[in-house]
Each structure stands twice: as structure tokens, then as C-alpha cells.
């Protein structure tokens, strides 16, 4: 039996940050199947679930030196998987909506307006800016704006104070206002239509 099996999650994360591949392997062995099952239930697609979990663990390994986990490892991993599922479903929803709209337009023999193209481009720009937020801030922002969770619910799930959650959401909005400028007013309109 590997000595790593007896280590706590916290000890494994510390070793991972020190470039310990065996600690990474133990984290993978502990959580990959559970995360896969969770992703399968949500996505109902085994290959997508497998890819999603692999991408998560690849990201963890690639970012091991700067990984910042402010909560229990299990909560962090489940939150990361939920975030990836939401992004994937959002992308699929956007693609499906776009294809449905395009099909309808072709069937009606209308010219496609540039509105859909602009909306898709705006959504891409917004997603890029949200993805550029620091991980903790990005996670809190998505839980607030996309999962529509209250600050209290987010605080409970992430083991944070409600004040910290509120501050993270406000900071995310400030960063996005600066980066997106006039696009922010369109952001609210687009998000309400897209999500």
C-alpha cells in the first residue's frame, strides 16, 4: 500500500505544490471516478464526462505551483467540475441556439442578420474576460451570476464568509466594467438572453 493513501487531502495538496507526482496520482485516484460519475449524471455523455475530468486533472497538474485551494479539496474539485459542466452546457446551448436560428433562417429563405454574429462575438469576448478573472473570483462570480446562488449559499458551499463572497462579486464586476467598458451594458442584456 502506498504511503500516500494515508495522507490527508491537505497534505497531498502541499506535496503536489512541491512537484510531487505521486501526490498528484493519489489525488487523481481518490477523486477521478467520483468526479466522472458526477459529470456523467449531468452531461449524460460518458466521453464528454471523461474528457472533462481529464481536462480538470491536466489543468491541476499544469498549475500545481500556483494552485490556490481555499477550501476542502473535494469541494474545490466538485466546484471546478460544476464550473466546467456549466461552461460546456452553455457553449452547447449557444451552439444549438445558433444552429436552430440559422436553420430557421435558411428554411424561411431570409438573410442572416449580423445581430446573431455580433451577439456570439460579444458572448465570446465576455466569456474571455470572465475566464481571465482570478480563479476564486471567477468561481464566485459564476456561482452568483450563472447558478443564481445567494451570497450565503455560495459562502456555505465554498466555506467562505458572506462578506468575502460579496467582495469577490463586487471586485469581479469592477474588473469587468474596466475591461469591457461600454460592452457592460450589453453584457446584462446578452446574459439574460443567452443564459
Burial of 90 (C-beta count, 10 Å sphere; 0-12/13-18/19+): middle
pLDDT digits (tens, 9 = 90+) for 145-194: 878 889 999 899 889 999 999 999 888 888 877 776 655 455 455 554 44
Entry pTM: 0.48
Residues 74-103: tens digit of each pLDDT: 888 988 888 888 887 777 776 666 566 556
Amino acid at each position: 500500500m502506498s504511503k500516500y493513501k494515508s495522507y490527508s487531502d491537505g497534505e497531498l495538496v502541499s506535496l503536489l505544490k512541491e512537484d510531487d507526482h505521486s501526490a498528484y496520482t493519489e489525488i487523481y485516484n481518490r477523486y477521478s471516478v467520483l468526479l466522472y460519475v458526477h459529470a456523467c449524471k449531468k452531461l449524460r455523455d460518458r466521453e464528454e464526462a471523461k474528457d472533462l475530468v481529464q481536462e480538470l486533472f491536466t489543468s491541476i497538474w499544469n498549475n500545481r505551483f500556483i494552485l490556490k485551494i481555499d477550501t476542502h479539496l473535494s469541494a474545490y474539485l466538485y466546484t471546478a467540475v460544476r464550473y466546467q459542466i456549466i461552461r460546456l452546457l452553455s457553449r452547447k446551448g449557444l451552439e444549438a441556439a445558433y444552429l436552430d436560428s440559422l436553420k430557421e433562417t435558411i428554411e424561411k429563405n431570409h438573410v442572416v442578420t449580423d445581430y446573431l454574429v455580433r451577439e456570439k462575438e460579444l458572448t465570446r469576448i465576455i466569456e474571455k474576460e470572465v475566464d481571465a478573472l482570478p480563479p476564486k473570483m471567477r468561481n464566485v462570480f459564476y456561482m452568483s451570476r450563472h447558478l443564481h446562488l445567494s451570497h450565503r449559499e455560495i459562502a456555505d458551499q465554498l466555506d467562505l464568509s458572506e462578506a468575502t463572497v460579496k467582495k469577490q462579486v463586487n471586485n469581479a464586476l469592477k474588473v469587468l466594467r474596466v475591461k469591457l467598458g461600454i460592452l457592460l451594458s450589453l453584457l446584462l442584456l446578452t446574459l439574460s438572453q443567452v443564459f
